[in-house]
Structure 1
Amino acid sequence: MNSNWFKLLMKATRVQYGENLKLNGVPVVFNKQGAELLIGDNVTINSSFLSNLVGLYQRTIIVTRTHDSKIAIGNNVGISGATIYARTSITIGENTLIGGNSKIMDNDFHPIEVEARNTDIKEKIAARPIVIGKNCFIGCNSLILKGTILGEGCVVGAGAVVSGVFEDNCVIAGNPAKVIKRL
């Protein structure tokens, strides 16, 4: 699909994007009616296998799942084969790079209680906003979980499982992720 056609499709689903949006491949973008999906200026979204040589397993997926959810992606952000999935809100600061195959999800996708899972009770799905500061780098194959707050200038090591609040300018790595260095 030509990226200009895809941009028209995004506008039709109320996705707001700034100038110079660069699409390498075709991402999966779903904006639930009533939700808000904002993409800043000079954003690059890589969604094809060879658009990032780290080896992308999938196209980039960006989803607002509920009518009151919000995703805000700042200016000069790069995204490669990542999943960004919001039931509440996800904010990504400007000049942030999101490495190949990373997942940023503000919810658990399913309730943790057996009865709620078996009856598929959507309101029992735990969700908390995620905030990623400006100038961050998220290493490939990282998982950013609900309620995470990354300060400005943070670096997340490849494959990290991140949950919690982290101060500005630190390197975070491991499972569970912890601060391993201050910049």
Structure 2
Amino acid sequence: MNSNWFKLFMKVTRVNYGKNLILKGIPVIFNKKGAKLIIGYNVTIKSSFLSNLVGLYQRTIIVTRTDKAEINIGNNVGISGATIYARKSIIIGNNTHIGGNTKILDNDFHPLEIEARNADIKEKIGAKQIVIGENCFIGCNVLILKGTVLGNGCIVGAGAVVSGKFEENSIIVGNPAKAIRKL
């Protein structure tokens, strides 16, 4: 499937995308009926192994999982082999770059309580909005967890596990991630 056919498929599945969307390889993009998935203009999504020499493990995956979910990707954003998976809301600001193999997950995927998990009760899955500001740089192999807020201009170091709120222009590293200084 070439990217023009895939763009047509995206329109059919109610994915709203702006001009100059560049697809290198074919991503997995799924918008649940009733959900909102918006991709701004001049966005590049890399999904083939050699499209980013950091070494992508997978194609980019962008999924709204519930009918109330929202993903809003700003203008001039670059994404490489990342997973962006929303049950609630993920907002990514303009001019942000998301490094290879990053995972942005606004939910726990499974209930935390044993009984709910064993009964597979989807309504008990915890979810909190993620907001990534403008002009951020997310290194490769980062995990961004539910409820995270990154202010404008933040840099997240490779391999960080990020949870919490971070002021603008913070440099964030580690597991658990901590702001080590400001730009």
Same fold (TM over 0.5): yes
Q: Alpha carbon RMSD of aligned pairs, Å?
A: 0.3
- Percent of pairs with identical residues: 77
CA distance in 2, matches of 1:165, 1:147: 8
Segments of structure 2 that go 5 or more residues without pairing to the other structure are none
2:124 corresponds in structure 1 to 124
Between the aligned partners of 2:35 and 2:3, the Cα distance in structure 1 is 23
Whole-angstrom distance in 1 between the partners of 2:90 and 2:43:
16
1:12-59 deviations in whole A, cap 9, x for unaligned? 000000000000000000000000000000000000000000000000
CA–CA separation in structure 1 for the residues paired with 2:170 and 2:68: 32
What is the TM-score when the length of structure 2 is the normalising length?
A: 1.00
Aligned runs of 1:11-160 on 2, under 5 Å?
A: 11-160=11-160
CA drift at 1:181: 1.4
What is the alpha-carbon distance in structure 2 between the residues aligned to residue 82 and residue 180 of structure 1? 25
TM-score (norm 1): 1.00
Q: Which ranges of structure 1 fall in alignment gaps of 5 or more residues?
A: none
Question: What count of residue pairs does the alignment treat as equivalent?
Answer: 183
CA distance in 2: counterparts of 1:167 and 1:181, whole angstroms:
10
Secondary structure (helix, strand or coil) at the match of 1:16 reads strand
Runs of 4+ in 1 over 6 A off after TM superposition: none
Amino acid at match of 1:4: N
Partner of 2:163: 163
